[in-house]
Amino acid sequence: MNVSDVRNDFPTMRKGKGVYLDSACQSLRPDRVIDAVMEYYTECPSCGGRSVHSMSTAVSVRTDETREALAGFFGTDDPDCYIFTKNCTEGINTVAYGLDIKKGDVVVTTDTEHNSNHVPWLVLADERGVKRRFSVSKEDGEFDMDSFLEQMCRDVRLVSVQHCSNVTGCVTPVREIAEIAHDCGALVLVDGSQAAPHFKVDLEKLDVDFYSASIHKMLGPSGMGFLYGKKDLLKQLRPLVYGGGAVGRTTYSDVQLAPVPDKFEAGLQNYAGIFGTKAALEYISDIGFDDIVKHERSLMKKIFEGLEDVKGLSIVGPDRPERRCGIFAFNINGLLSHDIAMMLDNMDGIMIRSGMHCSHPLYESRGLVGSARASTYIYNNDEDISRFVTAVRKIAEEFGDH
């Protein structure tokens, strides 16, 4: 992978907009994706799947092509198993409220989940009497298989876990979890937002029942995500939203829902986002995950080496860079994470995220009020890391408590 060529594909990089280290929140977009979005608005700004004129047909064709691209990207055969959503959160909620989860059913998650995979289960516990169990992670955030096994028995209806943490960068052993859950008769839902952009995800091999992710973290347009589900389960799942485009026929007294995936996509869709999604998947595929993984591990190693002797700096998560999946969360004694983020931006245009990163229970369980988080992706280079390391060292030395 030629990083210079990659950086030249991104408008914000060409314009020198600073050092962007916030890709775990939302990735930047290359020209190819922006052009695809504009293609919809300039060439065929119409509604797919309803009218029969040429512009509408072009949108319908591209929609089908994008589902096929998703299926190929994630190693599955049936494009109709992919539902377009606004984001990963909507996909998780679709499963949470679409399954017939009732009082007494158990949902098992981990103690390090993003709020998108935590709050829906809290609400269902309050509304329906659903029971919660947590697999407790190790101190550094690594998944603890022994703790998970302790939570599993025949009363578990669903296991819902992240594939990769947006705080620690730890990767969850999803395939092993799926085997154990299925042996107990439970279904498996995976939050793949932090995994899908960074390493190859083969859903056929993982054998999970549902997988949700955000395209806006994968170089794609904002407001785009997807939910994958096994076909027989999607047929049983109730939609989160009802309306036009999601029905086969209605009368004054009843409704016949459309087949999968249409029954989940009521109303006019984000067609520009669908155009951009296909372009984003193609862009990532052209680079290849082998090069992406190699590049991100190199950047993370440089961060660790550059900051290993900084006094007052503590790391949230494992101390091995190869376990971080492009995420470096840290604190500096005497400083709030928001202070660190603002100083980095003011000093050298270095953009990171700060706070609890929508993973409040994780921080509270460890007695932390948050952390600063730098997250890398394909367009970051050694100079970005050098500037980040230099600025963090200066902040720690001049403003931190030693």
Residue 208 to residue 172: CA distance in whole angstroms: 13
Q: Are 115 and 160 in contact (CB under 8 A)?
A: no
Bridging pattern class, strands 247-250 and 225-229:
unpaired
**Residue 22 DSSP symbol:** B
Name the helix (H) or strand (E) containing 40: helix 31-43
DSSP assignment of 150-210 equals HH-STTEEEEEEESB-TTT-PBP-HHHHHHHHHHTT-EEEEE-TTTTTTS---HHHHT-SE
- For 126, half-sphere exposure in the C-beta direction (CA atoms, 13 angstrom radius) is 6
Catalytic residue at 358?
yes
- Please give the single-letter amino acid code of residue 27: S
Catalytic residue among 25, 47, 184, 358: 358
Confirm if 161 and 109 have CB atoms less than 8 A apart. yes
Q: Would you say 317 and 31 are in contact if contact means Cβ atoms under 8 Å apart? A: no
Closest listed residue to residue 169, CA positions, set 321, 367, 288: 321
Cβ–Cβ < 8 Å for 296, 325:
yes
What tokens appear for 223 in the block? 């407001």
Q: For residues 278 and 276, what is the distance between their CA atoms, to the nearest angstrom?
A: 6
Which residues are bridge partners to 131 per DSSP?
A: 106
Q: Where are the beta strands (DSSP E) in 267-363?
A: 313-316, 327-332, 350-351, 353-355
Question: Catalytic residue positions?
Answer: 358
